[in-house]
Chains A and B, each alone.
Chain A
Amino acid sequence: MERPGYYGRFGGAFIPEILSATLEQLQVAFSGAKKDPDFWSTYQRLMSTYSCRPTPLTYAENLSRHLGGPQIYLKREDLNHTGAHKLNNVIGQGLIVGRMGKSRVIAETGAGQHGVATATMAAKFGYSCTIYMGEVDVARQRPNVFWMEQLGARVVPVKDGARILKDAINEALRDWSANMDTTHYVLGTACGPHPFPEMVSYFQSIVGMEVRDQILQQAGRSPSRVYACVGGGSNALGIFNGFFDNSEVELVGVEAGGEGLQSDKHATRLASGRGSVGVAQGYKTYFLQDDDGQMLETHSVAAGLDYIGVSPILSAYHEEGRIRFEAATDAEVLEATRLVMKKEGIIPALESAHALAGAFREAGEMSRDDVIIVNLSGRGDKDIFTIADALGDAAWKSFIVTKAEEYRA
Chain B
Amino acid sequence: MLEDYIRKRLREKDILLMAHIVVGYPSIEDSFELVRTIVEAGVDLIELQIPFSEPIADGPVILQANQAAIADSIRVDDCFKFAQKVTSAFDIPFLFMTYYNILFKRGEERFFAEAREAGIRGTIVPDLPPEEGESYMAAAAANNIDPIFILAPTSSPERINHLARFGRGFFYCVARKGVTGLDTDFSDEMTEFLNQCKRATQLPLALGFGVSSKEDVQFLRGKAEVAVVGSQALRILNAQGIQAVGDFFRGLK
Contacts and interface: CB of A to CB of B under 8 A. Distances in A.
Contacts of A160: 60, 63-64, 67
Contact of A161 (B54, B101, B151): B54
B141 interface: no
B52 interface: yes
Contacts of B100: 14, 279
Interface in A288-321: 289, 291-295
Contact of A177 (B60, B76, B179): B179
Interface in B199-229: none
Main secondary structure on A side of the interface with B: mixed
A13 B132 CA distance: 8
B53 interface: yes
B154 to A, nearest CB: 5
Contacts of A166: 54
Interface of A: 12-22, 160-161, 166, 170, 173-174, 177-180, 276-282, 284, 289, 291-295
A289 B179 contact: no
B114 to A, nearest CB: 13
B131 A16 contact: no
Given A174-B178, A289-B101, A292-B76, A21 B132 contact: no
Interface stretch (B19-27, B41-49, B122-130, B237-245): B122-130
Given A21-B155, A174-B178, A280-B99, A16 B57 contact: yes
Interface string B145-183: 000011111111001000100000000001001110010
A282 B127 contact: yes
Contact of A17 (B59, B60, B155, B182): B155
A279 B104 contact: yes
Contact of A16 (B56, B64, B156): B56
A20 B76 CA distance: 28
A170 B152 CA distance: 20
A17 B56 contact: no
B9 interface: no
Contact of A14 (B63, B132, B151): B132
A87 to B, nearest CB: 27
B54 A178 contact: no
Interface string B86-107: 0000000000000111101110
Nearest to A173: B56
Contact of B150 (A12, A17, A170, A276): A17
Given A20-B155, A21-B156, A281-B54, 18 more contacts: A14-B127, A14-B129, A17-B150, A19-B154, A21-B154, A22-B154, A177-B178, A178-B177, A178-B182, A278-B101, A279-B99, A280-B101, A282-B127, A291-B105, A292-B76, A292-B105, A293-B102, A294-B52
B75 interface: yes
Interface of B: 52-57, 59-60, 63-64, 67, 70, 75-76, 99-102, 104-106, 126-129, 131-132, 149-156, 159, 163, 174, 177-179, 182
A227 to B, nearest CB: 30
Contacts of B159: 20-21
A16 B70 contact: no
Contacts of B56: 15-16, 170, 173-174, 177, 281-282
Contacts of B101: 278-280, 289, 293
6 contacts: A170-B55, A177-B178, A178-B179, A180-B177, A277-B104, A294-B53
Contacts of B64: 160
Contacts of B174: 16-18
A177 B178 CA distance: 5
B177 A179 contact: yes
A160 B182 CA distance: 17
Among B53, B64, B154, chain A packs the most CB atoms within 10 A around the CB of B53
Given A278-B105, A293-B101, A161 B59 contact: no
A43 B70 CA distance: 45
A18 B53 contact: no
Of all A-B residue pairs in the complex, the 4 with the closest CB atoms, nearest first, are A293-B105, A178-B178, A293-B101, A17-B152
A15 B155 contact: no
B150 A13 contact: no
Contacts of B155: 17, 20-21
A20 B179 contact: no
A18 B52 contact: no
Contacts of A170: 54-56
A295 to B, nearest CB: 5
Contacts of B128: 14
A185 B64 CA distance: 24
B158 to A, nearest CB: 10
A295 B132 contact: no
A13 B129 contact: yes
B57 to A, nearest CB: 5
A107 B63 CA distance: 20
B82 to A, nearest CB: 14
A294 B104 CA distance: 12
A21 B63 CA distance: 24
Given A17-B151, A281-B54, A281-B56, A292 B75 contact: yes
Given A177-B57, A280-B54, A20 B105 contact: no
